Amino acid sequence: MDTMLFTGRSLWTMIHGMALGGGALMGLAAALFSVRAMSAANASDTAAQRESRYLAWLTVGVAVLLWLTVLVGTYITFPPYRATPPEGLLDLSRYPRSLIQSNPGTAWLHGFGMELKEHAPWIAAMLATAVAFVSVRYRSKLLGDARLRSMTTALLAICFLLVSLAALLGVFINKVAPLE
């Protein structure tokens, strides 16, 4: 008898959480480190231009990954999560939201965790897009301007915290009620 290792739903969950969200989180960490570690007293310096080009591509990649994460999360993995089970069904394993809410000990994962996950990553995607735009438009000037760098760092840090929190809650939810 053939046994499917992964269903389509679980594959999409992995794409959403590990490939896209995980990739964005790694990219955010790298961008945050880079924007602090790199500094350019002379913006026309060749090395500074090369570094800022890498940073620009990195931030664009992060923004793209975050938008793909929120779109896949909202429109592909969230609908089966919130599907309503038929009346009287006892086995709720294919209905994660109902399964989580059926146990008082895990109900917070929906009431707090999923409610937060529905919106926080969208804010992160907007912030990452602003950072990517500034990195591309200003290139090496970004590394030489203290105020621009500090605002970029602040937005990247907020982004990193929001995505980390959403990812952690996603792990908890998937542990209790995986989308299979």
Cα first-last separation, the chain:
19
By CB under 8 A, tell whether 28 contacts other proteins. Answer: no
Count of residues of this chain found to bind other proteins when the rule CB under 8 A is applied: 36
By CB under 8 A, tell whether 38 contacts other proteins. Answer: no
Q: Which of 31, 155, 156, 163 binds other proteins (CB under 8 A)?
A: 155
By CB under 8 A, tell whether 63 contacts other proteins. Answer: no
By CB under 8 A, tell whether 148 contacts other proteins. Answer: yes
Q: Least distance to other proteins from the beta carbon of 130, Å? A: 4
Instruction: Please spell the DSSP secondary structure of 112-156, one letter per residue.
Output: IIIHHHHHHHHHHHHHHHHHHHHHHHHTHHHHH-HHHHHHHHHHH
Report the residue number, 54 or 78, with the smaller CB distance to other proteins.
78
11-14 CB contacts, 8 Å cutoff, 24+ apart: 12/72, 12/76, 12/77, 12/179, 13/77, 13/174, 13/178, 13/179
Q: Least distance to other proteins from the beta carbon of 67, Å? A: 10
By CB under 8 A, tell whether 31 contacts other proteins. Answer: no
Report the residue number, 70 or 179, with the smaller CB distance to other proteins.
70
Segment near other proteins (CB under 8 A); pick from 1-9, 31-39, 87-95, 131-139: 131-139
Task: Count Cβ atoms within 10 A of the Cβ of residue 108 and give its class: 0-12 exposed, 13-18 middle, 19 or more buried.
Answer: middle
